[in-house]
Amino acid sequence: MSTAPEQTPAVSVVGVSKKWAAVSAFTDVSFDVPQGEVVALLGPSGAGKSTLLRCVNHLETISAGRIYVHGDLIGYRLGDQALYELSDAEISRQRQKIGMVFQHFNLFKHMTALQNVMSGPVHVLQRPKAQATALAMDLLDKVGLKAKADAYPSELSGGQQQRVAIARALAMQPRVLLLDEPTSALDPELAQEVVETIRKLAEEGQTMLIATHDMGIARDVADRVIFMEGGRIAEDARSKDFFTAPKSDRAR
């Protein structure tokens, strides 16, 4: 999707590194995601894809660099001498506009599908129940699960759970949606229904950053592929170029 060059990027990762005491996840990673673009984050297991996504909404702290979402510096305040970590309340406010979908769905097990989708608007945004219910039903309809509104996660298939999880993230009307291997825990047929849901979002112009091993997503849904390896970006290309003529050996 083409975007005006002067537009603020949806996500801007600038020279970001993440390391723990002994392990380094990635070093000096930089890229911009323009609004409306769908980026597939590829790479072997352990390449740092999940960690990078978790840094974007500050579920993980970063060791160096800066991350911006729609121009907001995530997780820190720029001081004279350093970046100072924000308070829990301030970071929570930033996260409201950053949706996240997990490999293992992570639905709230004590809530029905509907309550899961309503949880953000009701508890985070303090929206009235009636309004949140209407929005949640629309979203469940959109992911094809209106009939399952009153089902608990334990009564849903993996694919259904993942679609509820996507609806839950969408209920916050996120500026960007981070998806960490959304289909990896699913059988092929179930994965397909989740891919279709993601494709629909892509067509609506939802900005997405998707860590995945699913070539269907990377080739057919994503506009662009970022290939990570050994804690660095090995290749950053348009999706069709990446699949017709990969430059890095490993991407092959």
Partner 1 sequence: MAMTDRLSAPELPIVHRRRWGAWLLGAVALVVVVTIVHAAIRARIVNLGVFADYIFDPLIVMGAVNALMLGTLALFIATIIGFIAALMRVSGNPILVAISATYVYLFRGTPMLIQLIFWFNAVPIMFPSITISLPFMAEPLVSTPTTSLVTPFLAALAGLSLAEGAYMSEIIRAGILAVDKGQRAAATALGMTQRQVLAQVVIPQAGRIIIPAAGNQYIMLLKSSSLASAIGYLELLRVATDIYSSNFQVVELLAVAAFWYLVMTAFATAIQTVLEKVFPQR
Ligand X SMILES: Nc1ncnc2c1ncn2[C@@H]1O[C@H](COP(=O)(O)OP(=O)(O)O)[C@@H](O)[C@H]1O
Residue 58 or residue 224: which is nearer to partner 1 going by CB?
58
Q: Is the Cβ of residue 105 or residue 242 nearer to partner 1 in the bound state?
A: 105
**From ligand X, Mg ion, partner 1, none, interface partner of 108 (C-beta below 5 to 8 A by class):** partner 1
Q: Does 162 bind Mg ion (CB under 5 A)?
A: no
Q: Which of residues 87-146 bind partner 1 (CB under 8 A)?
A: 88-89, 92-93, 95-96, 98-100, 102, 104, 106-110, 119-120, 123-124
**Beta bridge partner(s), residue 224:** 39, 238
* Alpha-carbon span 67 to 209, nearest angstrom: 14
20 binds, among partner 1, Mg ion, ligand X, none (CB under 5 to 8 A by kind): ligand X
Task: Please select the residue that binds ligand X; options are 36, 46, 65, 216, rule is CB under 6 A.
Answer: 46
Does position 48 interact with ligand X (CB under 6 A)? The reply is yes
Residue at 171: amino acid letter: A
Our finding on whether 84 is near ligand X (CB under 6 A) is no
Which entry of ligand X, Mg ion, partner 1, none binds 46, CB below 5 to 8 A by partner kind? ligand X
Binding flag, residue 216, ligand X (CB under 6 A): no
Q: Verify binding: residue 20, ligand X, rule CB under 6 A.
A: yes
The whole-angstrom separation of Cα 161 and Cα 140 is: 11
Q: Which stretch binds partner 1 (CB under 8 A): 35-43, 62-70, 166-174, 212-220?
A: 166-174
Q: How many residues bind ligand X (CB under 6 A)?
A: 11
Q: Is 47 in the site for ligand X (CB under 6 A)?
A: yes
Interface residues toward ligand X, by CB under 6 A: 20, 23, 25, 43, 45-51
